[in-house]
Amino acid sequence: MDHANFSAKLEPFLLMSKSVKGAAAAKLIQDATAAPGVFVFSELLELPNIQELGKSEQHRKFLTLLQLFAFKTYQDHLQHKDALPPLNQAQIIKLKYLTIVSLAAERRILPYADLLKALDISNQKEEQLEVTYTAGRDLEPGKLEQVLAALKGWANTTSAVLTTLDAKINSIAADTAAQKLNQQEHERILQAHLKEVFEKQKEKSMGGGMASRRAAFQMGDRENMMDVDEPDNKGKNRKASSEAAPKPSRKRNKF
């Protein structure tokens, strides 16, 4: 709801009220309180020719009607019907809307029992009405200090909530920073261990390779030594064989 829009809806009645008195002014009040979208009435109520209705026995009840829509509730209508003109259906519905606005100004969750009493309703499924948005009403004379006190209380509550939120945000930020440091330290230690394992594996691999090469070198030496000895043995064996073999005898022919 836009309060500026409410004022715009009231504007035609303000213009007409400047030139009406008596019965015409009373009729204007009836029309304004029943008109769709008109929910604020203080500007109309403050006009001198409207205030003059209170001086007339015949038209006084219409001034009371305008005060009812400006400041009061549906319960006030029920309690003072004799001092008011009869209300049509549009006026009753609007007055109930305004009553809810007044209740919502005091609390956000409206209990079923309070609504039943204030609006004369017989059924409400959840037994309460939750108000998410409401409009302001005309400020009744003498209520300014009450409104200021309510605003001060709201400001104090808001400040306390903001302080709590700031503390919570700072706590979360500190926890996040600590977790980040712990993670970095964990990563550093992990990398150090991985490096240490890698170095040990590298040293072990290098030591095994040198041992293998040393063993291979020794085996090569043995084979070379065997290759050197074998020809000598074969030569000696051949010589021995040739010496051991008998020489063929030559027979001479005698004539």
Q: pLDDT tens digits for 180-210?
A: 999 999 999 989 888 888 888 888 887 665 6
User: Residue 108 gets which letter from DSSP?
Assistant: S
Q: Which of 127, 129, 125 is nearest to 108 (CA)?
A: 129
Instruction: Give the pLDDT confidence score for residue 124 in this predicted structure.
Output: 60
Q: Which of 38, 73, 39, 67 is nearest to 51 (CA)?
A: 67
Helix, strand or coil, per DSSP, at residue 145: helix
Which range is least confidently modeled, 148-162, 185-199, 225-239?
Answer: 225-239
Q: Classify residue 84 as exposed, middle or buried by CB count within 10 Å of its CB (0-12, 13-18, 19+).
A: middle
Q: Classify residue 148 as exposed, middle or buried by CB count within 10 Å of its CB (0-12, 13-18, 19+).
A: exposed
**Statement: residue 89 has pLDDT above 60:** yes
Higher-confidence residue of 205 and 172: namely: 172
Q: Which of 50, 55, 43 is nearest to 28 (CA)?
A: 50
Nearest-angstrom CA–CA distance, 189 and 202: 20
> Please, how many CA atoms are within 13 Å of residue 15, restricted to the half-sphere of its CB?
6
What is the average per-residue pLDDT within 55-73?
94
Helix, strand or coil, per DSSP, at residue 110: strand
Radius of gyration of the chain (CA): 56
Nearest-angstrom CA–CA distance, 111 and 250: 152
pTM over 0.85: no
What is the average per-residue pLDDT within 205-233?
59
Residues 94 and 65: beta-carbon distance below 8 Å: no
Q: In residues, how long is the chain?
A: 255
User: Residue 134 gets which letter from DSSP?
Assistant: -
Nearest-angstrom CA–CA distance, 10 and 37: 8
Instruction: Give the pLDDT confidence score for residue 255 in this predicted structure.
Output: 41
Nearest-angstrom CA–CA distance, 177 and 181: 6
Q: What average pLDDT is seen over the chain?
A: 81
Q: Which of 16, 67, 9 is nearest to 38 (CA)?
A: 9
Higher-confidence residue of 165 and 121: namely: 165
Residues 25 and 48: beta-carbon distance below 8 Å: no
Instruction: Give the pLDDT confidence score for residue 145 in this predicted structure.
Output: 84
